[in-house]
A and B are shown apart, each in its own frame.
Chain A
Amino acid sequence: MASTEVAPGDAVHRGPQVTVDRYTRGARINHWITAGSLVLLAISGLALFHPSLYWLTGLFGGGPNTRAIHPWIGVVLFFGFLGLFIRFWKLNLWERTDNVWLKKIKDVVTSNEENLPEVGKYNAGQKLVFWSMSILIILLITSGLVIWEQYFGQYFTVEQRRLAVLIHALAAVAAICVWIVHVYAAIWVRGTISAMTQGRVTGGWAWRHHRKWLRELVSGK
């Protein structure tokens, strides 16, 4: 049977302690470029979103610099995320078991993993983060171009720019919330962060959280 849950580069290392390769070096670099630009975008964007946060422009060398640099970081984020999308979209396709997982969200938040269906490389929560970020980033880049006054201002009517600025703000708030969920989940589920820092997780982590993925990896050998 062809593997459905395994990405190129995923591998099991047997030994006294089983470790599993989860992200290649390329994927990790790609991820951290995207993550860094998202953080910078959130800070510089929030600085212009609410007056009480305007002082954050100081981190970018003042208001005019913040205004000038924010859209360029956005371009970096877009292409960074595009890279992640191409890498990860296939294993994030929605499956029937994801609905089951979502229905048992109570067992998820209370860490009763034994009541949940076996999960492939990504669980339903991770898939939701992936797809909502994909949609939000498309909204952000398109609305962002419309309100990029310096280069694109003249191509759009004032009414279009008004709508774009509202969409941009709403999408950005949503994206920041999704980002908080993403970061919190990585902290809460111990043993996750090494997947993105060193590229590997322990066998126990894979067994506990992504058993189907581990099974396919092992049987593939």
Chain B
Amino acid sequence: MFTIIPNPQAKPIDAKFGDKDLIRRSASSITPVAQRQPEVAKLIDVSKCIGCKACQVACLEWNNLTEEVGVNVGVYDNPHDLTPNTWTLMRYTEYENPESGNLEWLIRKDGCMHCEDPGCLKACPAPGAIVQYSNGIVDFVKANCIGCGYCIKGCPFNIPRISKVDNKAYKCTLCSDRVAVGQGPACQKACPTQAIVFGTKDEMKKWAEKRITDLKSRGFKNAGLYDPPGVQGTHVMYVLQHADKPNIYAGLADNPRISPIVELWKGGTKYAGLALIGLTAAFGFLHHIVAGPNRVTDHDEQEAKRLAGK
């Protein structure tokens, strides 16, 4: 058993982190806070998940969200995809293990991974619409969101969804409001099997080690931790039975990274583009100074008259 986070005190306490603890702010240049808070992480142990969807319900409940009643198409995934209201979703995969011949039911809780190198934040054009706290949580700030959908293009995991109601982007907050007062995320709290645990990233890595050792002893020789280095690690990590093939878990990215197209768009293009526009204007200005205006002369007018008069 992982140590259970105790229930909160009844009396209100101050938030442990807030606007003063940012290391990144979208479309803004800020000085990252000097002293980072201990990085937090949610560890999702896919091997312990029973697919009860208590986490999905807890997420809706805590965040006061309602999902539309959907349509059953013969799969367990409900709803069929992440939505502006469903910030976490159980994705079910029936996997026939070619080595053992066993049918394995792989159930992955999908949602924001809280990347250390967040593509959404880097793509966002609205100052302060996406922030990253020093503990690693990446949060959307609704008041600053303009609904352009650039975060969707930046995200290597295809997580953010834009609401058709208010045209704002939504995703898992890692329950930043709960974490700020010393609680774990709602999904973690609701998980009946401790498939979801929460703590500092170091604690989670250590806990994951134990789980991986256990899984290996049970014959899952490729069991491992999913903390992808392509995005400098994530603050939501998975323990996978088959860490060599993340893709079998309902298309989990094998080697996620911010798309090179997005890097090019938000990197070189932004500066080269403005420079090119500036240079074109400067060229015109200089040309006018050097060459002067191209004026019609009296001679031209006389010639026109001569031509027209014929």
Contacts and interface: CB of A to CB of B under 8 A. Distances in A.
Given A63-B126, A180-B284, A188-B288, A204 B301 contact: yes
Contact of B307 (A62, A147, A150, A207): A207
B287 A147 contact: no
A170 B277 CA distance: 11
Given A48-B125, A54-B27, A188-B293, A204 B276 contact: no
A149 B153 CA distance: 11
Contacts of A205: 296, 300
B111 interface: no
Contact of A153 (B29, B162, B281): B162
20 contacts: A18-B308, A48-B125, A49-B125, A51-B27, A51-B29, A54-B126, A54-B127, A111-B291, A113-B294, A161-B149, A161-B153, A173-B273, A177-B276, A177-B277, A180-B281, A181-B284, A205-B296, A206-B304, A208-B300, A218-B308
Interface string A39-56: 000000000111100100
Interface residues of B, number: 53
Contacts of A62: 146
Find the residue from B152, B153, B302 having the highest chain A CB count within 10 A.
B153
B261 A162 contact: yes
Given A68-B167, A158-B158, A173-B277, A190 B304 contact: no
Interface in B272-310: 273-274, 276-277, 280-281, 284, 287-288, 291-298, 300-305, 307-310
Interface stretch (B51-59, B180-188, B263-271): B263-271
B303 A204 contact: yes
Q: Binding site of A, secondary structure by majority: helix, strand, loop or mixed?
A: helix
Contacts of B153: 147, 158, 161-162, 165
Q: Which of A158, A169, A190, A206 has the most CB of B within 10 A?
A: A158
A54 B277 contact: no
Contacts of A180: 277, 280-281, 284
B261 A158 contact: no
Contact of B284 (A18, A51, A163, A184): A184
Nearest to A157: B158
A207 B291 contact: no
